[in-house]
Structure 1
Amino acid sequence: MDLGLTGRTVIVTGASGGIGRHIATGFAAEGADVVLTYRANRSDAEQVAKEIGDRALLVPYAMDDPDAAGALVEAALAWTGRIDVLVNNAVHWGSTGGPVDRPFEAVPDADWLATLRHNAEGALRLSRAVAPVLRDRRWGRLVHISSNLAVDGMAGSEYYAAAKAALHGFSRSAAFSLGRDGDILSNVVMPGLTRTDTNAAIADEYGHHFSALAPIGRLLGAAEVAGPVVYLGSAANTGITGQVISVTGGV
């Protein structure tokens, strides 16, 4: 199937590893020019860019920097003159790097507010920066990467889950707004616990629980999540918008 991505410009945030790495290489394999963002790990991002070749552009991007979204959009436009797809994949895990083993009311204000603001505001701010470009071209795709924690929950993940759930509401309403101005679609992909090259310890600790619940009896790999993201961000997707697509192996 021709996904209609040749020559299109795709921004993938958080593309230096994990699911983001596979999303970026997946779009590149379909002929897209890919803007890869990273926060601190430039060396890993360079490796992804090396895999892609001259159709990759590296741009530093920090979700918590109010000026970063505009700078990223300017860099992409200066490179190819266009933006067609935005994948909001970057994530802020908080100071603990995952679920916290304490009551949610005991989490310091600085920690839980940062988790909410960086994850929700970061994605929304970048979507706002990209939207005028998509409206002018009357074509575009937004794909926001969420988490099954937004609907299934887990003790210790209250604020991260809340931030990801915010993407669901934003994307649904944005689909109506953007759809009035052209072939512009907005969707959420909601992975479960996914085995990646950066989360081996977490996958080993919790994987057996989710594998036991899954009809396929295993965790998905990052490439298996990236495939649906690439499809939703492509021209082959002509009618899926305003949806939350669960990619969890059936959990």
Structure 2
Amino acid sequence: MPVGLYDLTGRVALVTGGNKGLGKAMARGFAEAGADVVIASRHEDELRAALDEILAGTNQKGAYFVADMSVRGDADTLAKAALAKFGRVDILVNNAGMNAPQAIDAIDDATWDRVVEVNLSSVMAMTRALVPQMKERRWGRVVHVSSIMGQVSKERRNVYSATKAALIGMAKASALDLGPFGVTVNCVAPGPFLTDMPMSVLSDAEKQAFADRTALGRWGAPRELVGPVLMLCSEAGSYVTGQTLFVDGGYLAR
């Protein structure tokens, strides 16, 4: 049956930034597809409640760990904790990210370094830590959450666009490194989704402009990212690697 292509029974998925928004929605989708789930973020109070919601009504196991992706060593600590808890991680979704809008002639070094660490360097560190055991089993799925802002941009998105574009390049290279071992690496690039990050940095006029530019005339709900990610992380996407899947409601078509 075609539905079996999306079955993740027996798999373990780790989602950074899994306490809310897109990360929480993806983690819930993995649990519904049969995977055990690990989520991580900086906020323990949010993690506990989020994990309960992610696992509700499923028979899956889960765990959460507090990790700050702006601290390089936390990536290794998180990877080791997840492996100690479940013995394996089959699916890694590098979702943790941040945005700190600044014009090119106003960027301060501390902000640049923090956004690069969270959006890009932590992705390298998490992937580096977890792919060796995927290679040993000759099966794995790695998905970096990029953005349409890695393809286009707007004012004051210098560091954000730079990091999201870099993820696309890194996924291509990593796909070549890991393909011989049965591990795929892809990016998913969301467009306008109703999450805390864009809602906190955009004016009402900017929010409407994003909606108007999409073919569907609206923002996406986090749940609408689940299907594309499940495809990339299951047998349905076994021959897809080194790619970027734009899930943007037609934003880039205009």
Q: If the length of structure 1 is used for normalisation, what is the TM-score?
A: 0.91
- Residue pairs, 1:66-145, within 5 angstroms: 66-94=72-100, 99-100=101-102, 103-145=103-145
What do the CA deviations read for 1:5-59 (whole angstroms, capped 9, x no partner)? 11101000001111111011010011100001011x2222212211215611011
Asked if structure 2 preserves the Cα contact closer than 8 Å seen for 1:195 and 1:203, the reply is no
Corresponding residue of 1:45: 47
Q: Which residue of 2 aligns with 1:58?
A: 64
Once the two structures are TM-superposed, the CA of residue 205 in structure 1 deviates from its matched residue by 4.5
1:227 positional shift: 2.2
- Matched to 1:173, the amino acid is A
Counterpart Cα distance in 2 of 1:179 and 1:62: 29
Q: What SS class does the counterpart of residue 27 from structure 1 fall into?
A: helix
- Comparing 71-80 with 140-149, greater Cα deviation is found at 71-80
| Identical positions, percent | 35
Give aligned pairs, total: 243
- Residue 75 to residue 225, structure 1, CA distance change in 2 (3 Å): same
Q: Give the Å deviation of 1:171.
A: 0.3
One-letter identity of the residue aligned with 1:151: Q
**As a proportion of its length, which structure holds more helix?**
2
Mark the CA change 1:197 to 1:151 in structure 2 (over 3 Å): closer, same or farther. closer
Is residue 72–residue 117 contact of structure 2 (8 Å, CA) maintained in 1? no
The answer on whether the counterparts of 2:95 and 2:144 sit within 8 Å (CA) in structure 1 is: yes
Q: Which stretch of the first structure deviates more once superposed, 189-198 or 55-64?
A: 189-198
CA RMSD for the aligned pairs? Answer: 1.7
Question: In 1, are the aligned partners of 2:98 and 2:197 still within 8 Å (CA)?
Answer: no
Question: Is 2:192–2:211's contact at 8 Å kept on the other side of the alignment?
Answer: no
CA contact (8 A) 1:69 1:129 kept: yes
Could you tell which deviates more after superposition, 139-148 or 64-73? 64-73
Name the counterpart of 1:151. 151
Structure 2 Cα separation of the partners of residues 84 and 223 of structure 1: 22
Aligned residue for 1:23, secondary structure, equals helix
2:34 counterpart of 1:31: yes
Task: Determine helix, strand or coil for the equivalent of 2:176.
Answer: helix
Looking at structure 2, the residues matched to 213 and 199 of structure 1 have their Cα atoms a distance apart, in angstroms, of 15
Residue type matched to 2:235 in 1? A
CA deviations on 1:200-247 (whole Å, 9 max, x unpaired) are 454845221122111111111111023211221112211111001100
1:147 aligned partner, one-letter code: S
Q: CA contact under 8 A between 1:86 and 1:127: conserved in structure 2?
A: yes
Cα separation, partners in 2 of 1:177 and 1:78, compared to 1, 3 Å: same
The alpha carbon displacement at 1:167 in A equals 0.6
Where does structure 1 differ by over 6 angstroms across 4 or more consecutive aligned residues?
Answer: none
